[in-house]
Amino acid sequence: SRYPQTELEEYVNAEFPSQFELIFRSVNPQGIFIHISSISVVVNSLQDHYTLTKRRAEKNLLGSKAIIIRPSLIWSWEGKGDAERLEKHIAHKLVTVMLYPGNLHLPVLVSDLAQTIVDLIQDNNRQKVFNIVGDTSCRVWNLAKHISRQYNTFLIPLPTLPDWFFL
């Protein structure tokens, strides 16, 4: 769950992966169990509920044979992954106001992430944790502009506030 609010959502994010890994391992001792986490867990200053549950899931998987994959922003020009939420926000409005330029990301294309997972399985790599980021920095603003052109909507840039504003 991207925004875990209930006990069940928190359980699924934080506790279920390690419990499922135990069941998986009992049925398939030689199988490869892959847990998709988030690159945000390596940023100690991030203390949002989602990141905290992902950290707990990783901690619960310590000592297991699980492979942990931490992708950054999952990106697709076709509106999949994280782009899908942005598309839903922009597609049904004539005008959208959005912060510009926004955070800089190293997005991972959905197809590249899938291929990386396949490669890891085939390589039988012994490493346990993989941080996966894209090779080209981009802003969410660029994706938003692309989506707004697809739907003939108008995107209004709202300048970002300087850091001192939040002090």
| CA–CA gap between residue 160 and residue 17 (Å, rounded) | 38
pLDDT of residue 77 exceeding 70:
no
| Mean pLDDT taken over the chain | 84
Which residue's structure tokens are 């999952």? 74
* Displacement of CA 130 from its chain's centroid (Å): 13
Query: How distant, in Å, are the alpha carbons of 18, 52, 72, 94, 124 from that of 81?
Result: 24, 21, 11, 23, 26
At 166 the pLDDT is: 47
Provide the pLDDT confidence category of residue 102 given band limits of 50, 70 and 90. low
Q: What is the pLDDT of residues 17-69, one digit of tens each?
A: 999 999 999 999 988 899 999 998 998 998 989 999 999 999 999 999 899 99
Instruction: Point out which residues pair with 139 in neighbouring strands.
Output: 104
